[in-house]
Amino acid sequence: MITKIFVAIAVVIAVFTLTAGFTQQAAFVLRQEQQTQHWPRHGTHLSGVYRSGGWAPSSVRSSYSGFRGGGPAAGK
Amino acid sequence: MASQTQIRRSSRFTDPFFYVLWLIVGSMIFALMLGAAWGNTLISTTVQVAPDEPRTFAPFEIKPMAIGAFRADVEAIVPENRWLTYELQLKDNQGQVIASALKQAWAESGTWYEEGESGSWYENDLSAGFDFRTGKPEPVTLTLAVLEYSDTSGRELEEPVSFAITVKEGVVDTRYLWAGLVGTSLLGILASFSFGQSGRLVIRRRVPDSEVGGRAILGGSKNLVRTYVDIKGDANAPPYITVQLSITNSNGAEVYQDTHTVNLHQKKSDKGKVTSTHGKLCKFFELEPRDSYKFYAVVTPAQNIDNTRIQVREKSRTFRPVEVVSVQALL
């Protein structure tokens, strides 16, 4: 019966989405270089990467006129 | 050989897996409501931030969490026709940046003209959101900076921008839950449409006439026999027709015969002209014993009927209680 197959698929979908949603798999993991599961919200994209124990701003971020290396308030 | 006929509404052939499926959908709705309510607010305020004058908020403690993550939600409050780039930045207790994210926000309005009519429009994308989690407890601070602010002609503005900012802990990502709800609901809807095709097809015959029939070996106890008679008529067919459905066993004895009124629905062209008519009769049977049965349908009035199709499935299931005609041969 096809409903048994549908139930099996629904269980897989439910387990995956509940796990991913409640454990926040799409959130950015601080102090971690690999961010394969990060899923930005509201078009808010990372402006750098975490590398060798520090934050390295991306070229997009560096192009803003107020940029002084290290982001806002750096050196203040 | 005489037979006994009983008509009763029965739920004996309902498929329990259909209800399991909708139970899963219900669980997703509950999880979505629970997930949306989950989390505590750490910061909730409205601030003004001038370009190149970043605003830093009070430090807060982050820690690994089994459920949810930290969430910073920001909404820029700007007049119409503004472009804005702002950044959210997280720093550790040494003042070192550990994460930052950019939002390119805008709010634009204008006037539209079309076929002599006109009106105004307004669209914006001003919200930013950043979810983060950590593997170790530590205090962090959040900084909000305006990197660029201009009007839509590109003229830079120095005036401060208002922001509504909220920081929460233990927030669940409901995007996955919505996807799960849509996916499981689609399966539930597909399942409800699948019952018409459930079981084994034993008779399927279409004739360009008003009478159609077919014979097959079917039936037995706890075996739901689903019968469809599809009628297609031309534009002049009456709105109601009658279908005389009969079943005879292997000895040629009629074990069931009844006349049903069927409503013919009109199919219209783009110009509103009736092009054809269509009607459907669905009946459920439980026939005992298992035998060779002939199903025969006669549509009246016969004129204006283009074709008639009969389709019989055995071992069928339903998703709700249905009226079943039980026919049992008396020995």
Residues 6 or more apart from B102 whose CB is under 8 A from it?
A: A44, A45, A46, A47, A60, A61, B85, B86, B87, B147
Residue A48 has pLDDT above 90, yes or no: yes
Q: Is the ipTM of this complex over 0.95?
A: no
Is residue B191 scored above 90 in pLDDT?
yes
CA distance linking residue B331 with residue B210, whole number of Å: 35
Label residue B135 left, alpha or beta by phi (over 0 means left) and psi (-120 to 50 means alpha). alpha
Q: What DSSP string runs through B201-245?
A: EEEEEEESSSEEEEEEEE--TT-PEEEEEEEEE-TTS-SEEEEEE
Select from A11, A21, A29 the Cβ nearest to the Cβ of B24: A11
Strand partners, A19: none
Name the pTM for this structure: 0.83
Chain B residue with minimal CA distance to A52? B98
Is A62 an 8 Å CB contact of chain B? no
Is the confidence at residue A69, as pLDDT, over 70?
A: no
Contacts of A65 in chain B (CB under 8 A): 148
Whether the CB of A71 is below 8 Å from some CB of chain B: the reply is: yes
Q: Taking CB atoms and an 8 Å limit, are B134 and A2 in contact across chains?
A: no
The answer to whether residue B19 neighbours chain A at the CB level (below 8 Å) is no
Q: Least CB-CB distance to A7: which of B17, B96, B135?
A: B17
At A67, the pLDDT band (50, 70, 90 cuts) reads: very low
Give B81 to chain A, closest Cα distance, Å: 19
Percent of chain A with pLDDT over 90: 63
- pLDDT tens-digit readout, B36-83: 999 999 999 999 999 989 999 999 999 999 999 999 999 999 999 999
Query: Would you call B313 an interface residue with chain A, using a CB distance cutoff of 8 Å?
Result: no
